[in-house]
Amino acid sequence: FIEPKSFVTFAGESKGRDPGLVRLKPVSAQEARLLSAAPPDAFLAHPCDVPGLAWAYQKAHEGRMFAVNRGPRQRGFLRCSCGYAVGIKNDNQEKAERAKDHHTPWDKPCDKDKQKRWKKEDLAHEFRTDVLQVRFEASLPPAPMEISPDSHESWRDGFQRTLTEAIRLAAARNLEIDQREIAATFRNWSYGYPEIVLYDTTAGGAGYCRMLLAGNVRLLLEKACAILDCPANCTHSCRACLQSFENQMHWERFNRVPVLEWLGKRLGAKHNMNPFAGNGGAPLNVDDPMPFIWSAWDKARHAVILASSLYGAEAGAGTGDDFLGPAFRERLNQLISWLAPGRKLDLCLSELPDFSAEKPGGLEVHEKLLPFAKEKRLRLWRIPASFDIRMHPRLILDPGTSEGAAFYSSDPEPSGWFDSFIPAPAFKSPAADPSVWANLKDGFSAPDSDPFVLPRTLSVKHYQSGESRNIIADFAFCAKRQFELLRIEDPFVLTHSTNYLHLRTFLEELAKIWVAWPKGIEVKFREAEDGTHIATVEDFRRWLAAKGTCLITRPQPAKGPTRKFFHDRRIRFELTATLKPKVAQVLLTGGIDRYMNSRVECSLVSQNELGRAG
């Protein structure tokens, strides 16, 4: 990147230009990020009047922020050595800009060599100002059930952005200053715990963050709740609550209702409450109890976990390109390493895990946990719907022994085990009495059927990075057959050139074992925003026609409400054109593109109802 020292206007438009009748919505540069987080003891230096919250202040000489502008589509800027620069939106535009002539900022033809004059760069800037960090010691709520797994990250981003903007506006109103005098961003300071970073927009600081510190957090959050409690009762956001000229690039992401509910719970927390005192529970007076709990976990030989689900909010078992995520995989590997030396785990869940063909991520978990289930060292229990997890231990270590310990949490939202499932405020009690676990187990039941037993028609194959793909073996059911219809669902298979080439190579490999090309191939894909998919579709149509195959397309819009519901990568082979055709179905994590690229890992889940190939 480069750090611009100044900007110049174009000499050919020295008097400016007509703004037109319609004001264009500004494109957001990447917002500023905190470079210099306050040390832990700084959060202890400033008392906070809201339980589960902490804040710390940094003066301008300590508070360092970093801003990056990656251009209108996050693809950078193309800059000529003459001073001309333009934001890049797509590959076609970049290619055209490199080839065409242009004028310098002084309105003279550029005479630089076309092959050597260009550089692709981002714009960046580091500055120092007063900074106030506000940390929440509570996890974000899980995304609603109607939100598809591939949209969870976007939903959480919108949640945190809404929370951030409400607190920023509240700060400006409490200080009675122009809202442009103070800015805000957000980050996760611990796994799943949000932190709001407020900073003075004046370089060197104007003292506003210091003035906020002199007040109290409760007044700040109460003002934020008042802003979120829209007088117009809007659905997501409007000019009566969150929307302003300065934040218009984020309007579509604001979602005030879940943030208002979550923030209200934080304000409703009471000081010095210990609902587990009757069980011998003592508070763990730490900001984040999980490191302390994991340390005790590592020493235990037997663990009992009570959770709403195995996966939780941070690692869904979605369909198609199921995103487990690095945090999920790290916790899974931690569990496997813990079980390996002969330890035992009783996993008690309100919702049992789904290990099915529709959820390849779940099948990956199944494969890793299966050996321990076979040895009876991993047992699943179903928690009845009437059981309130919140009033019982979330974790029991070595129950019935002198070293036994039970851990509780008064957080109102029970979460999945792969989340931080014992958030602050947390409590610990002894568990030497064998009845602690025995009484709980009496109220639970074993699953009606063993969830670790998979159907015979189901097979799972995992490829590591660098491992060659065996297409002939993976799709052996295609041998000596002609399919009536081949249905392909893959968002990007006809959108990007690399994906398209991999699609053709994949079909050519299958053609080596089937007796004839399918009569029809149906492709469901996502349209490219710049329309480049149109030429690709026509090329694919001609290519298939030469082989006697008809192409059926089901394009999905690149934008709009239906976009978030399309994330599957699957191939369905239909043998006969009937209402209930004989089929084989294969789900590919990452799609055909990742399957054909041996440099990356992928998994495929096959469900074959065709029987053996003839």
Q: Which amino acid is located at 489 in the chain? A: E
Residue range 576-582: mean pLDDT, rounded? 62
Residue 511 shares a structural domain with residue 546: yes
339 and 468 share one domain = no
Question: What's the number of domains the chain is made of?
Answer: 4
Full DSSP string of 418-469: TS--SPSSEEEEE--STHHHHHHHHT-B--SS-TTPPPTTEEEEEE-TTPPP
Query: How far is the C-alpha of 230 from the C-alpha of 255, rounded, in Å?
Result: 11
Q: Highest mean pLDDT range out of 212-216, 246-250, 265-269, 276-280?
A: 246-250
Q: What pLDDT, on the 0 to 100 scale, is given for residue 171?
A: 93
Where residue 565 falls among pLDDT bands split at 50, 70, 90? Answer: very low
Q: Which of the residue ranges 307-316, 326-335, 352-361, 511-520 has the most confident prediction, judged by mean pLDDT? A: 511-520
**Is the domain of 284 the same as that of 321?**
yes
Strand bridging mode 302-309 / 344-351: parallel
What value does the mean pLDDT take over residues 346-369? Answer: 74
Instruction: Assess whether 416 and 394 both reside in one domain.
Output: yes
Pair (90, 225) in one structural domain: no
Give the pLDDT confidence of 266-310 residue by residue, as tens digits: 887 544 456 676 677 777 767 678 888 888 999 999 999 998 887
Is 452 among the domain residues?
A: no
For residue 544, the model assigns a pLDDT of 96
Q: What is the pLDDT of residue 564?
A: 45
* Per-residue confidence (pLDDT) for residue 172, from 0 to 100: 93
Model confidence at 9, in pLDDT bands (50, 70, 90)? Answer: low
114-123, 138-147, 315-324, 545-554: least confident range: 315-324
Q: Where are the alpha helices (DSSP H) in 116-230?
A: 152-175, 208-214, 217-228
Please state, in angstroms and rounded to a whole number, the distance separating the CA atoms of residues 274 and 409.
Answer: 10
C-alpha pair distances (Å), 217 with each of 173, 213, 263, 448, 526: 14, 8, 12, 50, 46
The mean pLDDT value for 179-203 works out to 86
DSSP string covering 539-560, please?
A: HHHHHHHTTT-EEEEEEE-SSS
Q: What's the confidence (pLDDT) of residue 291? A: 82
The 10s digit of each residue's pLDDT in 434-448 is 888 988 888 888 876
Q: Which residue has the higher pLDDT, 432 or 465?
A: 465
In a domain? residue 529: yes
Q: Of 250, 268, 286, which one is at a domain's C-terminal end?
A: 268
**252 vs 192, higher pLDDT:** 252
Give ∠ CA 477-478-482 in degrees, rounded to 5: 135
Beta strands in 105-191 (DSSP E): 118-121, 123-128, 131-136, 182-190
The Cα 277–Cα 589 span in angstroms is 47
**Residue ranges making up the domain that contains 513:** 458-608
* Tokens found for residue 607: 């469900």
- Closest to 488 measured CA to CA, from 528, 446, 542, 544: 544
| pLDDT tier at 539, thresholds 50, 70, 90 | very high
Higher-confidence position of 419 and 377:
377
**Per-residue pLDDT, 317:** 38
* 404-411: average pLDDT: 85
Q: What is the pLDDT of residue 312?
A: 61
In a domain, 373, yes or no: yes
Here the CATH number for the domain that contains residue 374 is 3.30.870
Give the residue with greater pLDDT, 376 vs 272: 376
Percent of the chain with pLDDT over 70: 81
Q: Where does residue 393 rank: exposed (0-12), middle (13-18), buried (19+ CB within 10 A)?
A: buried
Peptide bond connecting 194 to the previous residue in cis, omega within 30 degrees of 0: no
Residue 450 lies in a domain: no
47 pLDDT above the threshold of 60: yes
The answer on 581 and 564 residing in a single domain is yes
Do the domain assignments include residue 4? no
Instruction: Among 442, 467, 494, give the residue marking a domain's end.
Output: 442
Residue, of 537 and 584, whose pLDDT is higher: 537
Confirm whether 449 is domain-assigned.
no
Q: What pLDDT is recorded for position 436?
A: 82
Question: 257 in a domain, yes or no?
Answer: yes
Q: What are phi and psi of 570, to 5 degrees?
A: -145, 155
Token representation of residue 612: 């053996």
Look at residue 539 and tell me if it is in a domain: yes
**401 and 284 housed in the same domain:** yes
Residue 189's pLDDT band, with cuts at 50, 70 and 90, is: confident
User: Looking at the predicted structure, is the pLDDT value of residue 370 above 70?
Assistant: yes
Choice between 167 and 44, residue whose per-residue pLDDT is larger: 167
Average pLDDT over residues 124-133: 89
Residues 537, 433 within the same domain: no
68-100 pLDDT tens trace: 887 877 788 888 888 888 888 888 888 888 888
Domain boundary among 413, 442, 471: 442
pLDDT at 203: 82
592 alpha carbon, distance to own chain's centre: 22
58 shares its domain with 152: yes
Lowest mean pLDDT among 226-235, 404-413, 444-453, 562-571: 562-571
**Pair 314, 405 in one domain:** yes
Kindly indicate the confidence band of residue 356, based on its pLDDT and cuts at 50, 70 and 90. Answer: low
For the chain, give the mean pLDDT.
Answer: 82
Same-domain status, 409 and 467? no
- Least confidently predicted of 370-384, 413-427, 587-601: 413-427
Report which DSSP code applies to 2.
B
Which segment, 229-233, 351-355, 575-579, is predicted with the most confidence on average? Answer: 229-233
Q: How far apart are CA 156 and CA 153, in angstroms?
A: 5
Q: Are residues 44 and 104 in the same domain?
A: no
**pLDDT for position 316:** 45
